[in-house]
Structure formats: structure tokens, C-alpha cells
Amino acid sequence: MEKQARHVPVLLKEALNFLDVRPGGVYVDCTLGLAGHAEGIARRLGPAGRLIGFDRDGEALELARTKLAKVCEELGDQAPQVTLIGEAFSRIAEHVEPESADGILADFGVSSLQLEEAQRGFSFQAENDGPLDMRMDQRAELTAEQVVNRMSEHELADLVYKYGEERRRRTVARAIVRSRPIATTGQLARIVASVLPPRKFGQIHPATRTFQALRIFVNKELDEIEALLEAAPKLLKPSGRVVVISFHSLEDRIAKDSLREGAHQGIWKILTKKPVTADEEEMSKNPRSRSAKLRAGERTKSKGLETRDQANGAIQARRRW
């Protein structure tokens, strides 16, 4: 209960409004987390509606299941049908029928549960030092510890730059290799901080970009996002909507490019000319919302999905990491 109480869904009102959640509809929450957005959707659906939720994190899935069960109990005969799936959202097409969904939501941020539990190894800011794990799906084999201790210096430098946009990548990679073996989040954070100056205003830890890069690589996060955005228009009904919330430029660039290319192909009507961000009130209550950017698109009624593969090829060709 305490874990759920700490969770604050980012851009909740904006996400629900852009999803245009309607009673009786079918909506997919691709990133359940602690079910903050999912609860908001469920309360609007009514008994004829259906909520489908995905999360590859087994612990988060069970907490979401408990929370949504209580919500449905509270709603009584007005509760929607709820289906929860413990898999990565890249596999959405295996569980959602073509042109069956009215809305798809994805919040790409790391959940509060993952950040605040030291044993998950996502954050060096947790109360206690933790193992270098970073797996969202504990069934996966690759851990961050294996990456930092087995990759060559050149490979590490490329990884830190590609997924963390760390300009001083060679300095970071050299420090990591010279300090092996590295086993904990605190140890890695201290190594990186020892060779990098503090970020501007002292608000961002020097190791932030390195941790981001490792997390993205271990969980194949960008591949997951690309797979979801490729599948989304095929799963949505005409006029169905996709809403995505990103937290760094790599995620946002994929979302922006995918929606833009889809619009050129007649697949999407873009609903957000500029990304929607949190207002001052939300940022003061939830500092994590400061970097959140929401983008939304509506599937057009015209045919154009047959050109989706060409559109995705164009995105890949133009993307600069």
C-alpha cells in the first residue's frame, strides 16, 4: 500500500483527455506501472468497457492487479473488464486484435517502484546501495553488471554516447574499464562522478546519462518503443488514438518521427503540434514530471497502413543518434 501511495502518474489529466476515454471502449495501457493511468481509464469505461494492461515487471504487475481489483470492487456493477498481461508491450499485437482498440497509452518513464527499490539497481539515489541489475523483466538474462564488466572500452564508449548522449563517453568508458570489477550502483556512480564535472546548477548527477544508457541497453527500450508505434495503427479502430509520454530526447524523437511519418502516409492525424508538458503546479508536486513530454495521434479513416513499412524505413534512415 505504501508503494502505491508514493506513485503519482505523470500528466494524468492530459493523457486521459487526449485518449478521449469513452464508456464501452477498449483501451490499452502498455506501461501499467502502479496503475495510476490505468485507474483513471477504468473509472471512465463503464461495464461495457475493457481495459488491457501490459507490464513486463512482475512485481509491478501484481501491485497493479491488486489496485485495479480494489477499483473494480469499488465500482461494482459499473466496473469494466480488466485483462492484465505480464509481457513487454512490444508484443501487443499478439494480444490485441487488429482494429479493436479505441486508445493506446504508453508512459515510457521508469516507475517509482523501480527507482526507489535499491535491489532493482536502477538508481544511485536510492536510500541503499544496490546491485547493478536494471532489468525491468527479472526473467531476462542480461544485467547492467554484465555490461559494464564485459564490454570493451570502445563498446562502452559507443553505448554511453548512443543511449545516454554523454559527450565525454571515452572518459567514462576508460574509468569504468580501469575500475573493474564493478558490482553496485553506488560504486559505478562514484567512478563516473570522479571523472566528470557536476552538471549545471548541481541538479543532475554526473552519472545520470551513464545510468540511462545502461538501462536503455539492458531493456532494449528504444526497440520496444519502435515496435509499439509500428503496431499501434494496425490495432486501433479508425479514429482511435495513441498517446505516448517520453522522458528524454531519444524516446521523444522516436515518437515525433513515427507520428510525423505516419501523418505523411495518411495514417495519423497529429493532435499535438508541440509536445504537451506539465504545468507549474504538477511540477511542484511531482518533480519527475519536469522532463515529461506527451504526444498524441488519431488514426485516420483513410487507408494507408500498407505503406507503414516504407515509413518506418524512412525514419530509420534519417534518425541521428
Enumerate the domain spans of the chain: 2-112+221-318, 118-219
Query: Cα–Cα distance between 90 and 48 in angstroms, integer?
Result: 27
Torsion angle of alpha carbons 45, 47, 49, 54, nearest 10°? Answer: 90
Instruction: Provide the whole-model pTM.
Output: 0.89
Sheet architecture: strand order including 101-107: 81-85, 50-54, 26-29, 101-107, 236-246, 293-299, 268-270
Cis, bond preceding 181 (omega within 30 deg of 0):
yes
Beta strands in 137-235 (DSSP E): none
Residue type, 258: S
Task: Identify which has the larger pLDDT, 307 or 18.
Answer: 18
Q: What is the C-alpha to C-alpha distance for residues 191 and 211, in angstroms, rounded to an integer?
A: 12
Give the residue from 59, 89, 109 showing the smallest Cα distance to 215.
109
| Closest by Cα among 25, 23, 24, 27 to 37 | 27
Dump pLDDT digits (tens) for 188-224: 999 999 999 876 645 688 999 999 999 999 999 999 9
Strands 26-29, 50-54: parallel, antiparallel or unpaired by DSSP?
parallel
Query: What is the chain's mean pLDDT, rounded?
Result: 90
Task: Give the pLDDT confidence of 229-251 residue by residue, as tens digits.
Answer: 999 999 999 999 999 999 999 99
pLDDT at position 319 over 50? no
The string of pLDDT tens digits covering residues 292-314 is 999 999 999 865 555 555 545 54
Distance, first Cα to last Cα, the chain: 40
Specify the pLDDT at position 315: 47
pLDDT, position 139: 94
Could you confirm whether domain 2-112+221-318 is CATH 3.40.50.150?
A: yes
Q: 118-219: which CATH architecture?
A: Orthogonal Bundle (1.10)
The answer to whether the 2-112+221-318 and 118-219 domains have the same CATH topology is no
183-218 residues labelled b (16+ CB within 10 A) or e (exposed): ebbbebbbbbbeebeeeeeeeebbbbbbbbbbbbbb
